[in-house]
């Protein structure tokens, strides 16, 4: 089940902090034992096969202790930080409940805010509702942080790596992720990267601001390249909210001349929840699966359904050397059609180029808005930042002022994959004014992975 406001009220930061303190103490003790192993007096005079065997055993024990010390030290920090965040969340929740007193009834089980009389202002109700949604979203992040701390202790997560596998795999969200993963992979998720893909494939929304509107997800299959792990790109809005335009005549009739949409309100993060971006790309090199997830656009005023997701247009081609070129075009569900027709959208074309050393290079041309981040996740090591490009504007006017411009990101020398058509035809179709884009015309369009078979990415050159 998802967290509720009642759950947050019951959280006890003191108990969480006690766990952190205990872990810190045991890690210090284990660290002392590890250091003492190398200073045993007998090691200075003992020689022969038995001594060699003992030294080897002590080396293994030292490695074991080092790994456990690192895991416990990081778990202590993670859990201690979560305790501090719990204190802050509970203070904010109490502040909002005090503000709502005598004005609104707040249902702590489902977050519903109901006016107690007709004299309360809509702006006050919007403030209470929005802040409670933010408290719940932040609580979800704290909950995942606590799970990460526990996963560090049993070896599920490695020190330096982001949280991945959920502690409670019987929760509604975990069950949904398992089912989505099974439909694409034919089995349940096992590794941390499996769970990363399962989270991206989950066709549900959990943030209250999304009003249960579902994300739009498309996928395809390509030739697996074991050893490269998972690469994930996120496009996210750094502002808390952004300005939109009236979409229909109904908006003008109702006076909605300056509607607002929620942003993601964050900075770069390799551990961001799948719901904390506007669009995400997941490339599973181990299993040859590419997924694009577009989350719902949520309106600040909650009108017009409150939230909706548009369908991402994504075309992909793969080259014999392993390069993947991905052309994407996405827009928010409340964007006016003339703006979409004018290509005032989040769009671009990027190429992922796997290297012999297991890393993946990236390059391409994308709109200067929103922010764009790319990470590579491999077992046993911290995520690698492949690319980070902040939005050119962090203000609420970012989309309106920026979507008509593009720039290069990453390595501009990486050649894009061309469709498997003759070069003369490629050049000719590119030269014809107002003709369809030949890349889009001759490559594979990703489709809903839950509506029948998943398309195989077309071969290019």
235 and 344 belong to one structural domain: yes
Q: Which residue segment(s) compose the domain that 98 sits in? A: 1-159
Residue 190 lies inside a defined structural domain of this protein: no
Pairing between β-strand 313-318 and β-strand 458-459 as defined by DSSP bridges: parallel
Residues 6+ apart with CB under 8 A from 363: 350, 351, 353, 408, 409, 410, 411, 412, 413, 414
Is the pLDDT assigned to residue 141 strictly greater than 80? no
The whole-model pTM stands at 0.70
The reply to whether 132 and 214 lie within a common domain is: no
Res. 47 pLDDT band, cuts 50 70 90: very low
Is the pLDDT score of 167 beyond 90?
no
114 within some domain: yes
Domain boundary among 159, 178, 197: 159
Task: Judge whether 348 lies within some domain.
Answer: yes
* Residue 210 and residue 88 in one domain: no
**Residue 423 falls inside a structural domain:** yes
144 and 289 co-located in one domain: no
Share of the chain above pLDDT 70, in %: 89
Examine the domain organization and report whether 141 and 210 are in the same domain.
no
Rounded to an integer, the average pLDDT of 107-133 is 87
Tell me whether residue 196 is in a domain. no
- Same-domain pairing of 310 and 441: yes
Residue indicated by tokens 């919007």: 126
Does 262 share its domain with 402? yes
Say how far apart CA 135 and CA 207 lie, in whole Å.
Answer: 11
Tokens 């990101």 found at: 409
| pLDDT digit string, tens, across residues 354-369 | 999 999 999 999 999 9
Domain termination site, one of 102, 128, 159: 159
Higher pLDDT, 148 or 167: 148
Q: Where is the domain boundary, 142, 159, 176? A: 159
CATH number at residue 31: 1.20.1260
Per-residue pLDDT band at 65 (split at 50, 70, 90): low
Say whether pLDDT at 12 is over 80: yes
Instruction: Give the span between the Cα atoms of 243 and 403, in whole angstroms.
Output: 13
List pLDDT tens digits, range 433-454. 888 899 999 999 999 999 988 9
Could you tell me if residue 187 is inside a domain? no
Residue 1's pLDDT band (cuts 50, 70, 90): low
Q: What pLDDT is recorded for position 37?
A: 45
Average pLDDT over residues 372-393: 88
Q: Which of 36-50, 138-152, 246-260, 271-285 comes out lowest in average pLDDT?
A: 36-50
């Amino acid at each position: 089940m998802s967290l509720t406001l009642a759950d947050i009220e019951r959280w006890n930061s003191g108990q969480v902090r006690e766990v952190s303190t205990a872990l810190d103490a045991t890690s210090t003790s284990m660290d002392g034992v590890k250091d003492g192993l190398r200073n045993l007096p007998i090691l200075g005079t003992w020689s022969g096969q038995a001594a060699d065997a003992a030294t080897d055993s002590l080396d293994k024990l030292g490695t074991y202790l080092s790994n456990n010390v690192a895991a416990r030290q990081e778990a202590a920090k993670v859990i201690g930080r979560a305790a501090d965040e719990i204190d802050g969340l509970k203070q904010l929740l109490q502040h909002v409940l005090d503000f709502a007193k005598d004005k609104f009834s707040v249902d702590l089980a489902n977050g519903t805010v109901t006016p107690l009389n007709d004299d309360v202002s809509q702006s006050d109700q919007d403030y209470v509702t929005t802040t409670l949604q933010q408290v719940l979203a932040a609580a979800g992040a704290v909950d995942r942080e606590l799970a990460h701390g526990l996963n560090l202790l049993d070896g599920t997560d490695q020190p330096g790596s982001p949280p991945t596998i959920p502690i409670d795999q019987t929760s509604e969200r975990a069950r949904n992720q398992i089912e989505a993963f099974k439909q694409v992979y034919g089995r349940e998720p096992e590794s941390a990267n499996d769970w990363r893909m399962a989270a991206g494939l989950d066709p549900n929304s959990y943030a209250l601001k999304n009003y249960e509107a579902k994300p739009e997800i498309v996928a395809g299959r390509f030739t697996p390249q074991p050893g490269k792990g998972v690469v994930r790109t996120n496009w996210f809005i750094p502002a808390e909210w952004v300005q939109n335009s009236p979409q229909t005549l109904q908006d003008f009739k109702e006076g909605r001349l300056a509607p607002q949409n929620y942003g993601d309100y964050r900075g770069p993060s390799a551990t961001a929840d799948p719901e904390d971006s506007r669009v995400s790309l997941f490339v599973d090199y181990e299993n040859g699966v590419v997924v694009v997830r577009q989350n719902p656009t949520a309106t600040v005023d909650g009108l017009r359904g409150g939230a909706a997701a548009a369908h991402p247009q994504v075309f992909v081609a793969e080259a014999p050397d392993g390069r993947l070129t991905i052309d994407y075009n996405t827009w928010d569900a409340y964007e006016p059609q003339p703006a979409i027709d004018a290509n005032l959208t989040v769009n671009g074309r990027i190429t992922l180029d796997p290297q012999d050393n297991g890393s993946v290079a990236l390059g391409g041309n994308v709109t200067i808005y929103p922010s764009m981040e790319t990470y590579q996740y491999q077992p046993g090591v911290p995520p690698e930042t492949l690319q980070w490009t902040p939005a050119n504007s962090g203000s609420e006017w970012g989309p309106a002022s920026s979507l008509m411009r593009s720039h290069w990101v990453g390595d501009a020398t990486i050649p894009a994959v061309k469709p498997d058509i003759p070069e003369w035809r490629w050049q000719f179709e590119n030269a014809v004014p107002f003709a369809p884009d030949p890349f889009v015309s001759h490559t594979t369009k990703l489709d809903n992975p839950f509506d029948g078979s998943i398309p195989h990415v077309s071969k290019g050159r």
